[in-house]
Amino acid sequence: MTVYNIIYFTVWLLALLSYCKGFSSNALYRVQSLIIILFASIRFQTGYDWPVYEEHYNSLSSGSVFSLSFEFGYEYIVRVFNYLGISFPVFSFFITFIQVFLITKSIKFFFPKHSLLILATMYALPDFYLIPVFSLMRQGMAVSLFFWGMSLYFSHKKKLSYMAFFLAVSFHYSTLSILLLVFLLFKFTSRRSVYLTVFSISIIAYLLSIDMIGWIGSIILPMVGDKYSIYLERDVYNASLVYRLCYSLAMTLFFSIIYRTCYVDDRKNDNEIKFDRRIYKLAFMGIIIPVALYAFPTVSTRFQYFFSIFSIGICFHAYEIFKRNNHVIISIFLAIIFYMPFYRFLIDPLSLVYTPYQDLFFYDEDSSTGKIRTTELLNQLHELWSKK
């Protein structure tokens, strides 16, 4: 667990150094990005989905039939790397490197002023870095391509953005539903009050355990196939009333920050610098989705991931209401607060596949405990599922 804490301290220290004279924010961000990129890329058998991807990769290499089929884009790139005779660890390094690189570039594009803080926060919140980057190879790549596509779209390079979106879909079909949602958000003009109403209804439903989305999902998912209907049985939300209240307060706070920032931007003159209103729409969805889809924790967090940089970025844009002298104090406070979910994740028994961290330089098949820990995790999950 030590290495995770060292990285945590380092990325936040780099973010804080940006407030000191004599330090270039751009240079600090490049260093921070390189650390974040390499930390994920050089991992070896760390995370949970890698055994499936490794088995699939090796089965294509040997010409045997694999039990699962993946999206055509992922299948194609696996075949290319197999044809070149490249091993799975090197393939994993390449995919992860590109994935995190695109995320860092997208953060810098949309929120250059607060990019260091945003990237540090992404690392601190497991749902936005450790889980998707270390484990969700296909969807992680799809999300990074989606971010890249959005940056191209806002740069008025629409043809290139459509290509990026196509590639994102080719890595994970869930991107289609996200693109449809984004199309509707951008196509129709909606007031802030609409998002406030949807969020309020979602929070009330969450507190009262009214699961309308779950009811709809129970009808739709079985039609899609067994691959997704399994979420109805195993992806079950179970939280105490105290946790629900705390979570509701936290999400309400984040929503209020975005709402207030949007309100302030709307009141600015045309000559003043302000965000494109469409970015606020994306930021709102990053808060609404996990509340509205609370009954399916896995699905909600993975969909939320598509909007993560926008929600976090707009929240940090609210820094503008404070004096610059207070920014350092607030950032230190956030680093301490965000460490709580970070530490809780690392000590969770189900996170045994993340600790200890293993890398390509000091571990191999013989010295790695990755397979043992992954098997133990599956046993724990089966035991939990059997109790439901």
Buried-state track 58-76, b at ≥16 Cβ within 10 A, e below 16: ebbbeeeeeeeebbebbbe
End-to-end CA distance of the chain: 31
Q: Tell me the helix, strand and coil percentages in the chain, rounded to 5.
A: 75, 0, 25
Q: Identify the CA nearest to 101 among candidates 147, 136, 132.
A: 147
User: Whole-model pTM?
Assistant: 0.92
Residue with tokens 């039939």: 65
Per-run averaged pLDDT (10 residues), the chain, 388 residues: 95 95 93 98 92 91 81 94 93 96 98 96 95 93 98 96 98 95 89 92 90 69 59 64 90 94 78 77 95 86 95 91 84 95 92 92 86 87 65
- Please say whether the dihedral angle defined by the alpha carbons of residues 177, 381, 362 and 56, taken in this order, is positive or negative: negative
Q: Helices (DSSP H) in the chain: which residue ranges?
A: 2-17, 25-41, 50-62, 72-83, 88-110, 115-124, 130-134, 137-154, 158-171, 174-187, 192-207, 212-224, 226-234, 241-266, 277-292, 297-305, 308-317, 324-347, 370-386
> What pLDDT does 267 receive?
76
Cβ(295)–Cβ(301) below 8 Å: no
DSSP, collapsed to helix, strand or coil, labels residue 108 as helix
Residues 6+ apart with CB under 8 A from 253: none
Tell me the sheet residues that pair with 43.
Answer: 359
> What pLDDT does 294 receive?
86
Q: Indicate left, alpha or beta for 91 from its phi (over 0: left) and psi (-120 to 50: alpha).
A: alpha
> What pLDDT does 249 receive?
95
Q: Identify the CA nearest to 145 among candidates 130, 127, 132.
A: 132
> What pLDDT does 60 receive?
84
3-state secondary structure 17-69: HCCCCCCCHHHHHHHHHHHHHHHHHCECCCCCCHHHHHHHHHHHHHCCCCCCC
Helices (H) and strands (E) in the chain, counts: 19, 0
DSSP, collapsed to helix, strand or coil, labels residue 191 as coil
